[in-house]
Amino acid sequence: IPTLTLLYKLNHLAPPSPTVSTPPPSKAYNDKIALIRHDITKLKLDSIVNAANESLLGGGGVDGAIHRGAGPNLLRECEGLNGCETGSAKITGAYELPCKKVIHAVGPIYIITKRVGRHTSLLQSCYRTSLQLAVDNGMKSIAFSALSTGVYGYPSDEAAAAAIGAVRRFLDEGKGDTLDKIVFCNFMEKDEDAYLETLPRFFPPV
């Protein structure tokens, strides 16, 4: 039933934006970009990005780890947010976590959104919305979990290209000037491998 609901909603979204080709690699932002493999809940950065679902009321994977680490007050705050649409994000306090804020992004379920050609734009929209929320809330650093690559089934290589491309575009548009660090925080080796392969296409090693 949740699957049918999501499909219904997606059919009523705006048509997909034209595909954006990969820009030539740029070292200009290399000091801002970091790739690590770590438990994101342990990071002492300004903000971390959770791979949430539309209810924003917790779940498994990184979402479960973040709620466990933050304690029950995070759920209390999330209960007041009235959920979040796929492709968007909302920001909360971090409570007992070492970061200052948690950005809850709702990535697309791969198999459903691919059917309607919205998987890439929805995943990229999560990254863009999260970056904008970080900037708007005075965050200097942000760490992304690999949104949608767990339970939501997004293939690691495609997800990495969409994520890194979205970050690169945000920076190219001059919207991320106040951010000092943008961290891609992977947990599984398969995702780290995809990032190691894909990052140089957008941000070549110095």
Phi, psi of 96 (to 5 degrees): -85, 5
Q: Is residue 107 at the binding interface for ligand AR6, with CB under 6 A as the rule?
A: yes
Site for ligand AR6 in 42-61 (CB under 6 A): 51-53, 59-61
40 contributes a contact to ligand AR6 by CB under 6 A: yes
- Choose, by CB under 6 A, the member of 99, 134, 147, 163 that binds ligand AR6: 147
> Which residues have C-beta within 8 Å of that of residue 197, sequence separation ≥ 6?
157, 160
> Would you say 104 and 90 are in contact if contact means Cβ atoms under 8 Å apart?
yes
Among candidates 61, 48, 39, which has minimal Cα distance to 152?
61
**Which is nearer to ligand AR6, 187 or 202 (by Cβ)?**
187
Strand, coil or helix: what is 36? strand
Asked whether position 41 contacts ligand AR6 by CB under 6 A, the answer is yes
Window contacting ligand AR6 (CB under 6 A); options: 13-21, 39-47, 172-180, 193-201: 39-47
- What sign for the dihedral angle of Cα 85, 51, 158, 172? positive
31 contributes a contact to ligand AR6 by CB under 6 A? no
User: Which chain residues interact with ligand AR6 by CB under 6 A?
Assistant: 39-41, 51-53, 59-63, 65, 107, 145-152, 185, 187-188, 191
